[in-house]
Every structure is written in C-alpha cells, then in structure tokens.
Amino acid sequence: MSNCIFCRIVQREIPSKIVHEDDVGLAFEDINPQAPVHILVVPKRHIESLDMLKEADSSLIVHLILTCAKLAKQKGISSSGYRVVANTGFDGGQTVSHLHLHLLGGRAMGWPPG
C-alpha cells in the first residue's frame, strides 16, 4: 500500500533505525519510544490488523512473536522482563493500519498499560 507508512519503511522510502530484517518481517526503533527499548516488529506484507489474519497466517504471527523474543535477548531485557503489544482498531489504540507488535522493555511496566 503506497500510503502506508510501515510499507514505505519496509521499502526503504522512509528512513528508520532498523534493528532486524528477514524474509518475513522488519523490526525498527519506534520514533516516539514509551520505554528505553521500544521496537516495532512488522510483517513485510501489508496486513491491516490482527483482525485481518487468516489461518494461513499462523506461522507469520508466530515468527513475529519469536522475533520479539530474539530481540529482547539481544537488547538485554529478556531476564528482567518485557511486554509485547498488538493494538487493534481505533479503540484499541492502533494508529497505523499495518499489523505491528510493540516490544517494550528496560523499565518496570505497570498495569493498565499507559
């Protein structure tokens, strides 16, 4: 999708600080971090939200979650703990209509999130 900011990041039309890339996804630092570690993990293929996933996408979402775990280890936050969040829809706080996981860590996380 030509107007999707995350698709444009994947296609290198918009610069970002990429921390991981493979055939399935891309991970980059959030430009407005909410924690010392705040990385966005996105599929390279445009999928609007969790609601748009199909059964055939089960390996994709597992891959994205495993990427979060791998990055948490690389960033040194796996032993202290971290949060993985997928906002879905307007009321869920989704501001970019491209499926993405937030990897947050490096500080204690309260509940409810905010």
Domain boundaries, the chain: 5-105
Predicted confidence at residue 34, as pLDDT, reads: 95
H/E segment holding residue 9: helix 5-10
pLDDT value for 93: 93
Please list the ranges in the chain whose pLDDT falls under 70. 1, 113-114
Residue 65: how many other CB atoms lie within 10 Å: 15
pLDDT at 60: 97
State the pLDDT at residue 1. Answer: 61
Tokens of 111: 């509940």
Active-site amino acid positions = 100
Please list, in sequence order, all residues whose beta carbon lies within 8 angstroms of the beta carbon of residue 50, skipping any fewer than 6 positions away: 86, 88, 99
Q: Are 8 and 26 in contact (CB under 8 A)?
A: no
Interacting residues of 56 by C-beta distance below 8 A, sequence separation 6+: none
**Which overall architecture, per CATH, does domain 5-105 show?**
2-Layer Sandwich (3.30)
Whole-number pLDDT of residue 14: 95
